Structure 1
Amino acid sequence: MAAPMELFCWAGGWGLPSVDPDCLAVLTYARFTGAPLKVHKVTNPWRRAGAQDNPWPHTVPFIRQKYNADYDLSARQGADTLAFVSLLEEKLLPVLIHTFWVDAKNYVEHTRKWYAEAMPFPLNFFLPNRMHKRQLQRLQLMWGDSCLEDEEELEKEMYREALECLTLLSQRLGDQKFFFGDSPASLDAFVFSHLAPLLKARLPNGKLQQHLKSLQNLCDYCTSILSLYFPWDGGEWPGLEPRLLLCWAWGRSQ
């Protein structure tokens, strides 16, 4: 019998199966493809997976499997996927990091609060702050030295571009169920994993969130994926044969 396919990821919250975009992307992609897995929701990123033959993974979430949601895409659709992924990484992701981890009100009242409550003692006293520092470093790498010269002006420009990015996504999706029609692809997993936390989080300072909520088709898109592919919130996905899949957000945050 095949060894169990296991997914280790941050626990869910805000009505999502995982609050971390990287873990959420892997969960969604696996669900789109029908990839079999057993999900372990973790709140202690220092805890080993348990077995000697299952070493601590220090990389971004990865999948080792034969499932491919993009099998039927045309060459042009494949190129569009790369283009939109690059667009989101360049224009939207930095502002998402800023929204959740840098904006003081959001960080203190929402992000840090959630992770501190989710983590066991004594990690909840210091690990959220360590994650915060890592995200600041990550953002500085994305924005470059210019973020030190005129941070306020750069922030305005980055938010403007992020708003435009969301509008472009809304226009590209139109009235379709998914970005390439009636069947989901890897682009849908990537987009959903970035939009759903922004849509569902209860942010005290939510200017980017408010713009997303004004784009009804993107809101319906996220809600539809949640209801279709995550109708339960359990560790095991029923009716699926196990293989191997590991996912840790800790690789990004440490």
Structure 2
Amino acid sequence: MSLVAEAFVTQIAAAEPWPENAALYQPLRDEQILLSDNAACLAVQAFLQMCNLPFQVVSRPNAEYMSPSGKVPFIHVGNQVVSELGPIVQFVKAKGHSLSDGLDEVQKAEMKAYMELVNNMLLTAELYLQWCDDTTVQEITYPRYGCPYPWPLNHVLAYQKQWEIRRKMKALGWGNKSVDQVLEDVDQCCQALSQRLGTQLYFFNKRPTELDALVFGHIFTILTTQLISDELSEKVKNYSNLIAFCRRIEQHYFEGLNRDGSARLPPPIRRKILRS
């Protein structure tokens, strides 16, 4: 099929109404999923909740390999499969649902800049800690990433992923950073987000945008994920308005929902953030 024909088919599919049986695919939550993937999956779940679109969360051990981009999460809507927050936002917009249509062009540019900040700083820090901190790699990353697979495949796949991420860190200039330097980057990112949020309900006042979904996914996951130390979550806890922001989204968009339908956040995670 030519690119023009593919684009036409995609356009027709996007014009169809959102189905009741849409599915969001992610790795196994309790046994397998890692910090960065959990943040990405939660960000997409929050975005779909904010759009008031029905979906079911489907956990698969091979979700990463099922994804067209090799990254999670991905959604299966009708006969379309779309992965990662950015493309999913565009796909949902083509179906007539947008969280940022009310923003002017300056605000949209600002929103995109802050989303880049989150991806460049928080996401990169999560990947660094998962795959470049040796203690975390041995005690958390390798056991969780390889858990669905038999020996020696579990070690082979984990090693391949680590090699891929470490090469990416070098390309980004993070290869020789220390953990303290990475944590300082996280602090600077949180400081910028905290200043932009201020006392508002959301980053652009009273209504959430995809920026709010992205920030929630990463900040909430950092606050509620057990790592080797609490240094990462302690950086976030310095910003009380970001914690209140996470509580607000959790209570408004997740509490009371069926876990298998719209991924109600598990009770242990809720208890931990409420104690912070």
User: Considering the TM-score relative to the shorter chain, is it more than 0.5?
Assistant: yes
Matches within 5 A, 1:1-254: 4-13=21-30, 19-45=37-63, 46=65, 60=84, 62-63=87-88, 64-65=91-92, 66=95, 67-117=97-147, 119-121=148-150, 124-143=154-173, 147=175, 151-152=176-177, 156-231=180-255, 232=257, 234-237=259-262
Greater share of helix residues, 1 or 2? 2
2-structure distance, mates of 1:3, 1:83: 33
Task: Give the Å deviation of 1:179.
Answer: 1.0
Gaps of 5+ in 1: 239-254
Q: TM-score by structure 1 length?
A: 0.73
Tell me, yes or no, if the aligned pair for 2:21 and 2:56 is still in contact at 8 Å: yes
Task: Give the Å deviation of 1:198.
Answer: 1.3
Give the share of equivalent positions with the same residue, in percent.
Answer: 23
Task: Give the Å deviation of 1:81.
Answer: 0.4
2-structure distance, mates of 1:104, 1:225: 34
Tell me, yes or no, if the aligned pair for 2:22 and 2:56 is still in contact at 8 Å: yes
Tell me, yes or no, if the aligned pair for 1:192 and 1:222 is still in contact at 8 Å: yes
Task: Give the Å deviation of 1:185.
Answer: 0.6
Task: Give the Å deviation of 1:196.
Answer: 1.9
Q: TM-score by structure 2 length?
A: 0.68
TM-aligned CA distance change 1:11 to 1:177, over 3 Å: farther
2-structure distance, mates of 1:221, 1:111: 29
Q: Which amino acid aligns with 1:89?
A: N
TM-aligned CA distance change 1:126 to 1:54, over 3 Å: farther
RMSD: 3.4
For residues 90-144 of structure 1, the C-alpha deviation after alignment (integer angstroms, 9 at most, x for no partner) is 3333222112221122222233333344x25455454333332222222222227
1-structure distance, mates of 2:163, 2:258: 30
TM-aligned CA distance change 1:60 to 1:41, over 3 Å: same
Q: Which amino acid aligns with 1:166?
A: C
For residues 36-81 of structure 1, the C-alpha deviation after alignment (integer angstroms, 9 at most, x for no partner) is 22221112234699x9x969x6964642332211121222321210
1-structure distance, mates of 2:205, 2:119: 23
2-structure distance, mates of 1:202, 1:229: 23
2-structure distance, mates of 1:94, 1:13: 23
Alignment coverage as a number of residue pairs: 226
TM-aligned CA distance change 1:178 to 1:11, over 3 Å: farther
2-structure distance, mates of 1:225, 1:127: 35
Tell me, yes or no, if the aligned pair for 1:10 and 1:23 is still in contact at 8 Å: no
